[in-house]
Amino acid sequence: MLSRHHWTGVIVLLTFATFASCAQVEDPCKTKSRVVADDKYCDKYWECDNGQSIQYDCPNGLVFAGKHRGVTEGCDYPWRSNYCEYPKVQTNPPIGTEHCDWLYGIFGHETSCTRYWTCWNGTATEQLCIGGLLYNENAHSCDWPENVDGCQKHPLCNEDPNGNVPLGKSCNRYWQCQGGYPRLQRCPAMLVFDRRSLRCVVPPTEDCDVPTTTPPPPEEENQDSRPNTHKSQRPTHGEYQDRQRQATRN
């Protein structure tokens, strides 16, 4: 039976033989970064380790982006990397979990056009597009509805494609539908959004009161309404006795 030391030597020799067979791969040990991309597969790369060229895999769903680049371990999403262009391909098959086609990536929601999933090591986190935007599967980000195929109408504008829609309990912001696409709007200063007329009006309304500011407390004035700049700062006889009693207690 081979010892652990012998197995390590065999693995290094096999890795070196694999690297030697790829004549187009640059030797990472001869580069400044000590890391180079694979010549065929964009989800693999070569790194110089103790003078040996070792091949590594990017996390599932990511591709090589360059040393100290990308989202983790020098790897990034395929659509953001310049190293994953034809004829290069991803050789590792996808490993899917709930809501995630790959362990790492950004994926569209199954039932909503305004939500999507960000997957990190197989764990999905639901995200929401705001400001009237929809998730664009091609751009892997939120985008204007007219740029999103398959979601030409937004649920907020189902009743009136060119009307206004209240925004939660907000008194000055609302959704303005334009051809079925909502745009976040704000009422002009000193106006509030009326949920009945669906427009900006002068307050108060049933839900929003007039904005008020609390005036500062009135300053105390003397009987003659003028400050007495000659008033003595010495304590009165009663104040003096009170201070004496307080000092005796202490």
Q: What's the pLDDT at 9?
A: 41
Interatomic CA distance for residues 75 and 33, integer angstroms = 15
Which CATH homologous superfamily contains domain 94-151? Chitin binding domain (2.170.140.10)
Interatomic CA distance for residues 124 and 180, integer angstroms = 30
- Beta-carbon contacts of 81 under 8 Å, excluding residues fewer than 6 positions away, are 42, 63, 64, 65, 70, 75
Cis amide leading into 87 (omega within 30): yes
Residue in 218, 206, 146 with CA at minimum distance from that of residue 182: 146
Q: What's the pLDDT at 153?
A: 67
Q: What's the pLDDT at 186?
A: 93
Q: What strands, in cross-sheet order, belong to the sheet with 44-49?
A: 35-37, 44-49, 52-57
Q: What's the pLDDT at 17?
A: 43
Q: What's the pLDDT at 242?
A: 54
SS (H, E, C) the chain: CCCHHHHHHHHHHHHHHHHHHCCCCCCHHHCCCCEEECCCECCEEEEEECCEEEEEECCCCCEECCCCCCCECCEECHHHCCCCCCCCECCCCCCCECCECCCCEEEECCCCCCEEEEEECCEEEEEECCCCCEEECCCCEEECHHHCCCCCCCHHHCCCCCCEEECCCCCCEEEEEECCEEEEEECCCCCEEECCCCEEECCCCCCCCCCCCCCCCCCCCCCCCCCCCCCCCCCCHHHHHHHHHHHHHC
Domain ranges of the chain: 12-80, 94-151, 153-210
Interatomic CA distance for residues 161 and 152, integer angstroms = 11
Architecture (CATH level 2) of domain 12-80: Beta Complex (2.170)
CA 29 to chain centre: 37
Q: Does domain 153-210 have CATH number 3.40.1190.20?
A: no
CB 180 within 8 A of CB 148: no
Per-run averaged pLDDT (10 residues), the chain, 250 residues? 41 43 70 88 92 92 91 91 82 93 92 90 95 89 85 77 89 86 88 94 88 50 39 44 49
Backbone angles phi, psi at 177, to 5 degrees: -85, 130
Residue in 135, 137, 184, 139 with CA at minimum distance from that of residue 157: 184
